[in-house]
Each structure stands twice: as C-alpha cells, then as structure tokens.
Structure 1
C-alpha cells in the first residue's frame, strides 16, 4: 500500500513540474479562421500579425501589434506565457518582450497603429536611417506609448 501511494506521489510531482516548464512557441496562422481578438478583423496581412500563448495553453491572435498590446493591458501577467509578433519584412515570429519597435504616423499597419517590430535594435535603427522617418521604441515604451490615432 505504501508503494502505491509513493508511486502516486511521484507521478503528481512529475506532472506539476511539467506544468511549470512550458515551452511556449508561436503557432501557425490559419487564415480561414483566425481573427483578431480585439477588433474581430480577419488576419489578412500576416506580416503584421501577433499572438499570445496563454499560460493555460490557449492562443489569442491579433492583426496588429497595437491590438496585442491593448489586449495584454487587461490580462494578469501570470496568464501570459509568451507573446510573439512578426519581424518586419520577414516571415519569422519574434518575442515581443525582446523586440525593438519603430513608430511613425505614416507607417501603414492593419489597424493604423503605425508601430512595426524588429528582432534587434540595430535593424530597427537601420530601418529609420533608410526610410528617413520613425521613432525607436523598446518594449517598455509600449506600455505608456500614445498610439497615434488610437490614444
């Protein structure tokens, strides 16, 4: 009887450890069914898409970085596993919390937030130089940022 309880105890401990060490990865977009959680628009321009992997295993999808950030403001931090956004001009997903961002009122995004994401600060700064416009932002800046037409 003791062995049975001991085995059950170890199984429970292993299951609890597995729950605490989730490896959050971005999921592929499903253009036929994915809609933005905030504005309910279809995600037509996938190059601007964002997503949140929630700690419960669910995913929420967004058509614009601004929608993703607005949604995050209403979540408890413990409910967020990881957040992802598409890297400007590339197909890959990057971590929102480590990305660098560029804002300009004339940068087109699906919901007119005008903020685009880059994997590194250097690439974001190079974009500003090449385009001759834009303001460099960090993830911390997004919390208090006045989102153009949306503030």
Structure 2
C-alpha cells in the first residue's frame, strides 16, 4: 500500500513538472533599460514592449515597431511570451491578442505610428479623441507599411 502511495506521489510530481511554464512581464527601468533594436533608452514607458524568452531572459523595446523588427529578424521560436503596453490603461497585455491602431501621424517613440489596446471600446474612444486610424490584428503588423519606416 505504501509503495502505491509513493508511486502516485511521484507521478504527481512528474506531471506537475511537465506543465507549461508561466511567463510574466517585468517592470521597465528607465535608467538602465534600452531598446534591443534601436538602443534608445526607454523614456516613454507607456509605449514599451518586451519579450520573455523561453530561457527566462528579457528583451526590451521602446516601440511596438522595434519589437516587430526583432520578431521579423529572429522569429518567435525562442519567445515564451511577448507584451506591449495598453495605451488606454498603461497595463501590460499579450502582443498576440492586442488590437492595434495605425496612423502615420500618431506619435510613438520611433515614429512607427502604431498603438495597442485591449478592447474595441478603448480603440473607439482613442480615435474619437485623436483621429482615425487603421485597425490591425497582430498578424497584420507583419506586413504593415510602417509610416516613415517605409
């Protein structure tokens, strides 16, 4: 009986160890963090992005355009998770689930003109105040003609 209990516990430990790894965004340190692509300091934290690599390392970006440049060059094979700031709430959200708005006249740190939101209501509120933009999903960013970075 004790042997069966020991085997069940061992199986449980093994199954827990095989679970999916959780990745979480970290806070940006404006004094030390620089963009992986353009090497600019992260001065405007509300536009920042980050990738958590599967090995636990972080890559930090000052603009969604820089994050996308990194992904285009490196692929997402080593990416555990990717995050961007929600323009409406300044909270981290999943890059792959965000709703993006592009307008070449929207200001962003590297002038890519793309900002991110979690909901269509947030998008509509922004566009009512700041001007129309083109709604995009993540996969559309891969082929977007990025304003001044054409």
Cα offset, 1:71, TM superposition? 0.3
Q: Indicate the residue corresponding to 2:63 in structure 1.
A: 64
SS of residue in 1 equivalent to 2:73: coil
TM-score of the aligned structures, taking structure 2 as reference length = 0.85
User: CA offsets, 1:88-118, max 9 Å, x none?
Assistant: 0423101110000111111100000010010
CA contact (8 A) 2:98 2:137 kept: yes
Distance 1:149 1:31 in 2: 25
> Which 4+ runs in 1 deviate beyond 3 A?
12-16
Trace 1:88-127 onto structure 2 (pairs within 5 A): 88-127=87-126
> Where in structure 2 are the equivalents of 1:123-134 lying within 5 Å?
123-134=122-133
Cα distance in 1 for residues equivalent to 2:101 and 2:76: 24
Q: What residue is the counterpart of 2:79 in the other structure?
A: 80
Aligned length: 143
User: In angstroms, what is the RMSD of aligned CA positions?
Assistant: 2.2
Measured in 1, the distance between the counterparts of 2:77 and 2:139 equals 18
**Structure 1 unpaired stretches of 5+:** 1-5
Scaled by the length of structure 1, the TM-score of the pair is: 0.85
- 1:139 corresponds in structure 2 to 138
Whole-angstrom distance in 1 between the partners of 2:72 and 2:120? 24
